[in-house]
Amino acid sequence: MSFPKDFLWGAAAAAYQIEGAAMEDGRGLSIWDVYSHDKNVDSGTGRMNIDNGDTGDVACDHYHRYKEDVALMKEIGLKAYRLSISWSRVLPEGKGKINEKGLDFYGDLVDELLKAGIEPYVTLFHWDLPQALMNLGGWSNPDSPDWFAEYVKVVTDKLSDRVTHWITFNESQCHIIIGHLLGECAPKLKLPYPEVFQAMHHLFLAHGKAVQTIRKYSAKPCMVGYAPCASEVYPVTDKKEDIDAARRAAFDASAKNLWNTSWWIDPIVHGRYPKEGIEAFAEYFPEALLKEEDLALISQPLDFLGINLYRGSGIRHTEEGYVQAEKKIGFDRTAFKWPVTPKVLHYMPKFLFERYHLPVLITENGLSMADWVSLDGKVHDPQRIDFMNRYLLELSKALDEGVNVVGYFAWSIMDNFEWSQGYGERFGLIHVDFETQKRTLKDSAYWYRDIITSNGEGLQGL
């Protein structure tokens, strides 16, 4: 079967990773500005916060070059572009006075996208909390849901006459677990579990208030979603017992492991925390988080479920239940050393659709490669083409089985600031020379254009 005729082909990026102009036109500091400018070397690991001491001060200079970038998106043939808003560009202090220049940038970007025939999908939070709010406790502060709702109203008032697709949070578990529990990215906290759960809960409440705010103030009928990552698993075979085992593993919160999907989607969609997860963390989980009114607010009805999928773990059935299969020796991996596991794009959308009954949108998928501009002036990235081809073939299997997958966003539209790895990883369809800011479409960008034009019929092996 071919992809549905209205299937959405897009690409994505995030504000701090591409915009630059960090200190321009009234933008306030975010936690990533502070984190990336901290050049102290960790005595335990011998590492700085960001590889090579890189920062997002300039990044891809998208703030000044957005028209050029949108023209390249049009050349690729994108139907949609997922961007994120820098909260501190709009509200430098996180609340209160609006920075009109910052807000106008997003209005101009949306206009440019629409003029190019590209639908904007706006993500409201992609990890870059204003530092001014971090100084007030960040997500640990019980006022944080109201701060977020205030910010969301400002953006909704500005853009909702043109933007009709919204995403509240991107990869909330990465932001909370890596940034607030493990202390391995901004804001570099190592909170005890009870405080981590409290921060999670405030973020979930912020999501609920954001959904309410968008629906109340949107100038047009709109669609609202949420984009976490998931417990990326797949069955090692297509036998029923392995598929059932992988499905259990995807949502099994019985281990003391906050990464499990159930923690991050069950409250949002079903209005409840996973019972077995609460039992596993019984000594740490605050009972106060189970208030019915809170869970009702958190679980506002959604129109779609975004999901970021890159790699997965193979799951095999055992008599005791299931086990994670060992990777084969010399397993296929990306430049980031992530395993190449296309089957995750077949089975995780299937499992998520079965459990949550929401249309699934692949909000991120892609890989980092060691690619560069060749002597012929082109960027040859055959592995990216093969990777995307393999993953999209698996996604087509989910569609064949009746899974309502509405679109696919490649990560990323261009090489950018890859968080703690700085500029050391290249995920883009477009190569960026970070010294000259020259853009070069990679072979994969032209390949993707053909896939979009054929609505997936050009996939090898379809």
Q: Catalytic residues, which ones?
A: 171, 364
For residue 420, count CB atoms less than 10 angstroms from its CB and return exposed for 0-12, middle for 13-18, buried for 19 or more. buried
Instruction: Report the length, in residues, of the chain.
Output: 462
Q: Is 310 annotated as a binding residue?
A: yes
Q: What is the dihedral of CA 192, 197, 202, 204, to 10 degrees?
A: 140
Tell me the three state secondary structure of residue 47. coil
Residue with tokens 């509200």: 91
Q: Is 217 annotated as a binding residue?
A: no
Q: Is 284 annotated as a binding residue?
A: no
Q: Which residues pair with 414 in a beta bridge?
A: 430
Calculate helix-pair angle for 144-159, 100-115, nearest 10 degrees.
50
Q: Helices H, strands E: what count in the chain?
A: 16, 13
User: Cα(431)–Cα(414) distance, rounded to whole angstroms?
Assistant: 6
User: Cα(271)–Cα(418) distance, rounded to whole angstroms?
Assistant: 33
Q: Which residues pair with 431 in a beta bridge?
A: 440
Read off φ and ψ for residue 420, nearest 5 degrees. -65, -15
Q: Is 126 annotated as a binding residue?
A: yes
**85 Cα distance to chain centroid:** 13
Q: Is 260 annotated as a binding residue?
A: no
Residue with tokens 């999670």: 200
Q: Is 411 annotated as a binding residue?
A: yes
Q: Is 293 annotated as a binding residue?
A: no
Annotated binding-site ranges for substrate:
17, 126, 170, 310, 411, 418-419
Q: Which residues are annotated as a binding site?
A: 17, 126, 170, 310, 411, 418-419
